[in-house]
Amino acid sequence: MSAAATAAASDSFAGRLLAWFDVHGRHGLPWQAPRTAYRVWLSEVMLQQTQVATVIPYFERFVARFPDFTSLAAADIDEVLALWAGLGYYARGRNLHAAAKQVVSLHRGDMPDDIEAAQALPGVGRSTAAAILAQAYGSRHAILDGNVKRVLARHAAIPGWPGEPKVAAKLWMVSERHLPQTRLADYTQAIMDLGATLCSARQPSCERCPVAADCAASLAGRIDEFPASKPAKARPLRRQQLLVVEDAEGAILIERRPPAGIWGGLWCLPVAAEGEAIDELLRAAHGIEIEQLETLPSFRHAFTHFELELQPQRCRLRAEATAAMALRERPEQRWLNMRRDPLPGLPAPVLQFLNTRLRADDDPCPEPSTASSSARKPKASTAPRSPASSARSSTSKSPRKPGPAGSRTRPA
């Protein structure tokens, strides 16, 4: 490359961004060393709608148990979802497992380096596929995650909400135009880092931005106008009953959720529609007879498109032997003794409910391990949780709004 071409490259959008990244970028993320296709893919899926700081402990636990596509593909879905529990958006966990099986069966256990083949994997869309191939193989593909949309919408002053097809098409065109010829892995990480740190949704640090000199929104003093917000839409409230059915030994009835819908594939307390007769439901669905004990305080959980209010109803079996026999014939339903049984993947708000609200009533939740299993702990002690529950403080709520430095908002 001639001296003039080198100077032009260094003055380009990509050249300035890479120079900034070399000094200020994030170089110590666990999926960067080693930066294999499997680790990059796993991180990209986890980072969809989730902050980097939240993902790191989940990622480390996941790769410790499943170090490659083959081990993940061979795993039981319950173990996968147990490690995922608390990250939210559980379809990602199911898609992760399905994609690993597809990589093993169709691609001999290696992530395909073809963009169309990568995009055909469950849970992998255009931007995610491009990010994987650029970072793992150095392929020249543009990305357009939530942070990148914000950077490009501001730099080019592109009006409109990025979720609109016409606006998205303009952003894709700009993203492709800025691609450098070399250092694609670093450039991909750099533009994501810029959006996650300096070009944040609120209070961006334009004075430190490496591309601020020709940022149209910044020069016009209109940073807050780009990108345009999604048109406001009221989020409806749904109400359901959460059935806490206990047997004579303190075990609770759980069932596997359907693959589609909220908490798909996880184990959960049974739910009933608001106002539905729960004794009739449990008799028909589980073959058991119960007596209703009390109605516990309700609680809410926010999803992306609606808010769910759960009204716990505490019940007790009338015929334990009949219930146990019926449940043995239904593999998607079982009794869980939280004091002694390993916890399956449970939705974070349901696990939190079991670990807190029910502790005041007969304390059915597990106690920390001690030399004497019969010793009672003070109610303020913390119960053991599922393998992935230690970092769920910020992930048990949904939707996730763009956060401060380190956040990622990624489309699938």
C-alpha angle with apex 44: 39 to 45, nearest 5 degrees? 100
Distance CA 322, CA 335 (A): 13
320 is catalytic: no
Closest CA to 94 of 106, 83, 105, 108: 83
- Say if CB 75 and CB 387 are below 8 A apart: no
- What does the DSSP 8-state code read for residue 123? T
Of the listed 44, 246, 255, 367, which one is catalytic? 44
Q: Are 294 and 314 in contact (CB under 8 A)?
A: yes
End-to-end CA distance of the chain: 37
Query: Ramachandran region of residue 253, left (φ > 0), alpha (ψ -120 to 50) or beta?
Result: beta
The angle that helices 146-155 and 165-177 make with each other, rounded to 10 degrees, is 80
> CA-to-CA distance for 150 and 153, rounded, in angstroms?
5
With residue 83 as reference, give the H or E element that holds it: helix 77-84
Residue 369 makes CB contacts below 8 A (sequence gap 6+) with: 384
Alpha helix segments (H runs only) across 267-345: 278-286, 320-328
In whole angstroms, give the CA distance from residue 292 to residue 376: 27
Largest CA distance in the chain: 86
Do 23 and 15 touch, CB atoms closer than 8 A? no
Cα separation, 364 vs 218, in Å, equals 57
Tell the residue number behind the tokens 């359901």, with chain if given.
240
Q: Which letter does DSSP use for residue 221 in this model? A: T
Closest by CA to 17, choosing from 146, 223, 175, is 175
Residues with catalytic function:
44
